[in-house]
Amino acid sequence: MTQKKPSEQESDSLTSRYFLMSGLLHAFYWMDEGLQNHFKAAGFPKVSRTQSMIMANLADGITRPSELARRIGISRQAVQQLLVDMEQRKLVRLVPDPDDARAKIVRYNSQGLEIGQVAINALTRIDAEIENRLGRKALLELRRILVESDWGEPVQATEAEARTRNNDSAIDALVRHTKTKKPIGNPDF
């Protein structure tokens, strides 16, 4: 593996800050940290970020372990191990699937319902803090874009599209933008 030169590392780091995915990921971490702080304040044991994602997906109506694995991006075996731990901690329970006798579905357990209430309180407080910091208009716009809008199917790519190298002028424009915060204009990318 070749070591990147400092200027290349700086360029990669600055460029990654421009893309929405990076911002959404940082926002997710910030929100999850706030959620974890509420769990701790309520006296619950620490929940891993992956377990937190399982709980969020359960709240979203996703109850099949295979679908949890697909959504979170981990193996079915990893989800099963997490669910066993969560079941031992009385956060969830695995029950027979009424639609498939061979399968199980995940439900909140009694402590899981309590932690769910703490999560609702935390998310309400986090939204209020975002409104306090960014303003009501920004909160409503974020909610409209992230929650209420239908983004459609994920973007697909051909091999040629996936392997196309970004042209250097686009990368240079992104680096300039992150250093100066001036508008990019219309780079060709």
Q: Comparing 17-26, 63-72, 147-156, which segment has the lowest mean pLDDT?
A: 17-26
Burial class (CB in 10 A: 0-12, 13-18, 19+), 123: middle
What's the confidence (pLDDT) of residue 185? 42
Average pLDDT over residues 51-57: 88
φ, ψ for residue 96, nearest 5 deg: -60, 140
Residues 6 or more apart in contact with residue 79 via CB below 8 angstroms: 54, 65, 66, 68, 69, 72
* Across 69-88, average pLDDT: 95
Rounded CA separation 70/122 (Å): 26
DSSP characters for 18-46? HSHHHHHHHHHHHHHHHHHHHHHHTTPPP
**pLDDT score for 178:** 63
The rounded distance, in Å, linking the Cα atoms of 167 and 40 is 47
User: d(Cα 174, Cα 178) in Å, to the nearest integer?
Assistant: 6
Question: Any residues with CB less than 8 A from the CB of 37 and at least 6 apart, and which?
Answer: 122
pTM score:
0.70
- Report d(CA 43, CA 31) in Å as an integer: 19
pLDDT per position as a tens digit, 96-128: 999 998 999 999 888 878 888 888 899 899 999
In order of 8, 22, 25, 166, 186, the CA distances from 171 in angstroms are: 11, 16, 21, 7, 12
